[in-house]
Structure 1
Amino acid sequence: MLDAYQQLVPIGVAGELYIGGPGLSPGYWKRPELTKERFLDNPFGAGRLYRTGDRVRWRADGRLEFLGRVDNQVKIRGHRIELGEIERQLMRIPAIQEAVVLADEDHGLLAWMTTTTDFEPQAAWQWLRQQLPSYMLPARLVRIDSFPRLPNGKLDRQQLVRLQSPSPENTQPDEPQNELESQLLAIWRQVLKQPGLRPSDDFFRHGGDSLQSIRVIAQAQQANIPLSPNLLFEYPTVRELATYLQSEARAEPTWESVSRLAQGSTQNPPLFCIHSGAAHVFFYRELANYLREDYTVYALQAQGLDKDGQLPSSIEEMAAHYIAEIKRVQAQGPYRLLGTCFSNAVGLEMAHQLQAKGDHIDRLIFVDSGPAHLQSLRTTEGKRTWHRLGQMLKTGDWRGISKKIRNRSIVAARQISQPFKSASAQRLQTTIDNLNDLYARYNWEPYPGDIHFIRSSEFAARPDKDYHLEQWTKLTRGQLHQYIVPGHHLTLFAEPEVQALAAVIHDILRGE
């Protein structure tokens, strides 16, 4: 299994399958160009290798998993897209008999289909918007009588691309279609400072984060457009959001801690991902995208980001609130929780409280971090600070002293500048400061069940991060399962490293 640069990929990461050995053909009969494309010298030894075009990955149990064809996966606007998934959703429409989706350099995603006479384009668009994220929506639906074939019976893709219909009913419009779309698009362009944004552009893919989402909501409310943060996660484009707000099914938007990032199979318990210490959850969206086929993924947003929200006074209070919120989505266990950095404390406390209520915790997953101290720092923080400073002076650690003074000056400067920030920026900063304070005051107690701890290869190789594993060992009364995935701490949830992370989490959720 090799990546695009013919380098070996680790367990859990998708790559292309290459084969070699004595039984390998020398090439295609009288087709030198195709032979040159598909056969290459073996970079790891003697002989040649053949590119099969199959996307596969090694599973943790040693099995090989087929993921589809390489030529059936494309990357558009930063998103990796399985064309087969779009085709499957099209084929679920009764009036569509056969469907093929291709990526075109000029037009993006295009879908060709044969249909019955009762096919309704607008109904098809509505179905696709409900089932697929905006970046997977075809730019055009093209109806044809039959698919062109090569003499060997395979699809003639070159001929198919020429069969493009200019009919407006088949085209996904990318200009505002009504006043609401125009209003929302103007707000997004102003907040994100991107005048070229289109109704189908993803808010988070174009720089949207916690602060910008608060600003969007505030401006929308000033324009009498009812909006809440959870709606931005569920409908991340102007078109999706406007369609929902104008639908009969819409409910009065209220602040909710639980936001759905991906809708997956209802046969499996959902996964709840807890916000970071920076009070945001948008970094979970790539992970949710890779898990969406089998699992519904929810994010728990931080309290205090809404203008009327109250800040929690302890991790215990925060955990109790989040439990009440997730029970509105999933009334009873088994529960699956995931945390990273700050949210490890919240996840652990939620697991404690759920177990105390008699609920079953099916999976408790923590990613690439652990507590430096198991007892509250607030009671001994002053003594610890002076003790550390004294040790630095004694040993002549001027670099450490300089760093400590710099950190204190950053905090002081932030406090001085607080009155000059916008209301939304102040609210976010206040929320983050409160989270840091609660984390420092939390007392970590051993958990009686199993814990799944995922480490990045960066942190696993650093001796100064060994305390993560040591602390989780102390905190686990059941079995501590450790996993190492290739990547770096700061980019583990981003492409391409999130692929390996998602593969491991997928196996954990399946019990493998």
Structure 2
Amino acid sequence: MPGELFIAGDGLAAAYYGQPALTAARFPTHPRTGERLYRTGDHARYRPDGTLEFLGRLDSQAKVRGYRVDLLEVEQQLAAQPGVRAAACVVTGTGAAARLIAFLVAEEGGGPGTDGEPVPGPAALRARLGTTLPSYAVPSAFHTVAALPLTANGKRDARALLALAEEHAAGAGGGDADRAAASGRAPRTERESALARLWQEVCGTAVRSVDDDFFASGGSSVSAVRLVRRIEEEFGVRLPLSSLFEASTVARQDALLDRHVDTLLVPVRPGDGAVLVLVHPVGGHLLGYRALIDALPAPYAVYGLQAPPSGRLPATLPELAARYAREVAALGRPVHLLGWSMGGVLAAETARRTDLVQPLSLTLVDSFVAATDGADLDERAAAAGFFTDYLGQRDDVAEIAVPAGHPDPFGHLAATHLPREPADALRGLYDQYRALYRLLLDHRPRPLPQDCPLLVVPAERERPDAFGGLTPLHRHPAGLVPPGARVAPLPETHYSVVRGGAARRLAELFHTRTAKGSA
């Protein structure tokens, strides 16, 4: 588990001379032993063999839309690109509007009008960084500058960089830097221009290229909901939320509007290796898997199963899983199945249809099942769960709860947490969430299949009674997890287990287990 590194011992200094406030901040005492400590500001973790691994400086850490990003790591990746001599990153905005901005200094002889190797364009930089960094750590804008601003004592001037970023965002700084930042493909048709306008409206930032990624441009699960609604209002086509994986740029979204067909299995990421199919959680979409998808090794080809609209859901969970099994069988390739939350239960039921699909492995991540027969749907719990699904993966969200006895739990939470979003626009999504929750409550859980390698990953920090009428699958009194399955708990909550560093650990667990199973 990564954390800040503290040191202690006989050689520890006593204080910062003449700086009592700094001394108090940097020299705490151990809460149990009372020993004097020094907080180093280093980010570190212990490896399984006891080796202490340095992960960077905490003062280079920043939050971008709820994800922790090591700016130093991003800068090092940028400086390693051809034509780049130095790089610096800053974060502008807060919450869902936070953006990661990069400044680049060209190699000598590599600037505009020279014969040296030029700095790659934004699209090329994003593509290259995307092979080593998660999507939330790829800058949403790149500015080429003659030199990085420095303070009087020669250190990087963070305030000047931030001011420069805000200048560029406002379109105030002319010259080569702006032309470089604005490079990329401009909208070519009226519809691409309209889509770019809608993206700017929901993300709060300008779309500089039709090849910009939605999430790298400031998109989030909340703005994705808004974008889908605005596209339907503008073009009369209701795109599923999960289409933002298949069509994550304006150009691809424009093409998708021409050929949109209702499909349950969507391509998420190409790859020339094994096929992984992700099964949607109770929200019915795949947005919660973003960090895990980024963390998976590049060779995996990733697909996702998204739920049909609530009006077209079958009567039982096994019937829905049978539809998914037919969709997976149509791929004509061996697959690994992975499901988080309700997705794990659906993945297990899909794996039972051995007449259609015989998965290479089955992974369930913090899945919950019905605790008792005939449990009623708790409307307060369902509404709170729905809004947590959309808002709970951010760190800046107030507690999501409904006062006891409130006559309209959904309306209360919509007005409290998404006041700018018309409640009716969310109602269809909530109806789907509610219908899937009902399917899960009505489903009588069965022991997990044993026909393939099985990995169960509980979130240790989640309360067993977190979801009304449900209980953690691995704790069910009927003993649903068979002997031989690997159970690998992670010290996370239900939502944090699929984001940030936990998503990387989950990807490692999955990859290790599947590689062993195929050996």
TM-score, normalised to structure 1, is 0.64
Q: Does 1:127 align with 2:124?
A: yes
Match among 466, 477, 480 for residue 482 of structure 2: 477
Q: Is the 8 A contact 1:40 1:50 kept in 2?
A: yes
* Identity among equivalent pairs (%): 20
Corresponding residue SS for 1:24? coil
Shift of 1:17: 1.4
**Equivalent residue number for residue 98 of structure 1:** 85
Q: Is the 8 A contact 2:363 2:456 kept in 1?
A: yes
Q: Does 1:242 align with 2:250?
A: yes
Shift of 1:92: 6.3
Q: Is the 8 A contact 2:340 2:366 kept in 1?
A: yes
Distance 2:150 2:227 in 1: 47
Match among 300, 304, 320 for residue 305 of structure 2: 300
Q: Is the 8 A contact 1:38 1:50 kept in 2?
A: no
- The alpha-carbon distance between structure 1 residues 77 and 357, as it changes in their structure 2 partners (threshold 3 A), is closer
Q: Is the 8 A contact 2:370 2:443 kept in 1?
A: no
Corresponding residue SS for 2:232? helix
**Equivalent residue number for residue 114 of structure 1:** 106
Q: Does 1:362 align with 2:361?
A: yes
Distance 1:59 1:205 in 2: 33
Q: Is the 8 A contact 2:229 2:238 kept in 1?
A: no
**Equivalent residue number for residue 452 of structure 1:** 456
Q: Is the 8 A contact 1:98 1:114 kept in 2?
A: yes
**Structure 1 counterpart of 2:245, one-letter code:** F
**Structure 2 counterpart of 1:242, one-letter code:** V
Shift of 1:206: 4.2
Distance 1:431 1:465 in 2: 18
**Equivalent residue number for residue 215 of structure 1:** 229
Corresponding residue SS for 1:273? strand
Q: Does 1:184 align with 2:186?
A: no
1:276-307 CA-to-partner distances (Å, cap 9, x unmatched) read 333233233355456578977654211237xx
Distance 2:117 2:264 in 1: 40
Distance 1:150 1:409 in 2: 59
TM-score, normalised to structure 2, is 0.63
**Equivalent residue number for residue 348 of structure 1:** 348
Alignment of 1:297-446 (within 5 A): 298-304=303-309, 310-312=312-314, 314-326=316-328, 331-333=333-335, 335-340=336-341, 342-353=342-353, 359-373=358-372, 428=429, 431-432=432-433, 434-436=435-437, 438-439=439-440, 442-446=443-447
159-168 vs 19-28, greater mean Cα deviation: 159-168
Shift of 1:346: 0.8
Structure 2 runs not aligned, ≥5 long? 94-98, 165-172, 208-213, 377-404, 411-421, 514-519
Match among 62, 74, 90 for residue 74 of structure 1: 62
Q: Is the 8 A contact 2:337 2:359 kept in 1?
A: no
**Structure 2 counterpart of 1:57, one-letter code:** R
Corresponding residue SS for 1:126? helix
1:358-408 CA-to-partner distances (Å, cap 9, x unmatched) read 7354342231523325xxx6xxx5xx99xxxxxxxxxxxxxxxxxxxx899
**Structure 1 counterpart of 2:368, one-letter code:** S
**Equivalent residue number for residue 517 of structure 2:** none
Q: Does 1:257 align with 2:268?
A: no
- The alpha-carbon distance between structure 1 residues 424 and 114, as it changes in their structure 2 partners (threshold 3 A), is closer
**Structure 1 counterpart of 2:436, one-letter code:** L
**Structure 2 counterpart of 1:101, one-letter code:** A
**Structure 2 counterpart of 1:171, one-letter code:** A
Q: How many residue pairs end up in the alignment?
A: 433
Distance 1:313 1:128 in 2: 48
Structure 1 runs not aligned, ≥5 long? 1-11, 386-405, 412-420
- The alpha-carbon distance between structure 1 residues 329 and 90, as it changes in their structure 2 partners (threshold 3 A), is farther
Q: Is the 8 A contact 1:339 1:347 kept in 2?
A: no
**Equivalent residue number for residue 386 of structure 2:** none
Distance 2:315 2:406 in 1: 25
**Structure 2 counterpart of 1:505, one-letter code:** L
- The alpha-carbon distance between structure 1 residues 487 and 42, as it changes in their structure 2 partners (threshold 3 A), is same
CA RMSD across the alignment: 5.2
Q: Is the 8 A contact 1:456 1:492 kept in 2?
A: no
Corresponding residue SS for 1:474? coil
1:107-141 CA-to-partner distances (Å, cap 9, x unmatched) read 962322333445455x5211134454477325342
Match among 11, 35, 50 for residue 23 of structure 1: 11
**Structure 2 counterpart of 1:459, one-letter code:** R
Q: Is the 8 A contact 1:18 1:52 kept in 2?
A: yes
1:134-156 CA-to-partner distances (Å, cap 9, x unmatched) read 773253422547998999xxx84
**Structure 1 counterpart of 2:363, one-letter code:** L
**Structure 1 counterpart of 2:308, one-letter code:** Q
Shift of 1:452: 0.9
Distance 1:299 1:337 in 2: 10
1:308-341 CA-to-partner distances (Å, cap 9, x unmatched) read x9544543443344345456779224x141231x
**Structure 2 counterpart of 1:126, one-letter code:** A
1:386-434 CA-to-partner distances (Å, cap 9, x unmatched) read xxxxxxxxxxxxxxxxxxxx899999xxxxxxxxx99976764664565
**Equivalent residue number for residue 202 of structure 1:** 218
Shift of 1:39: 4.0
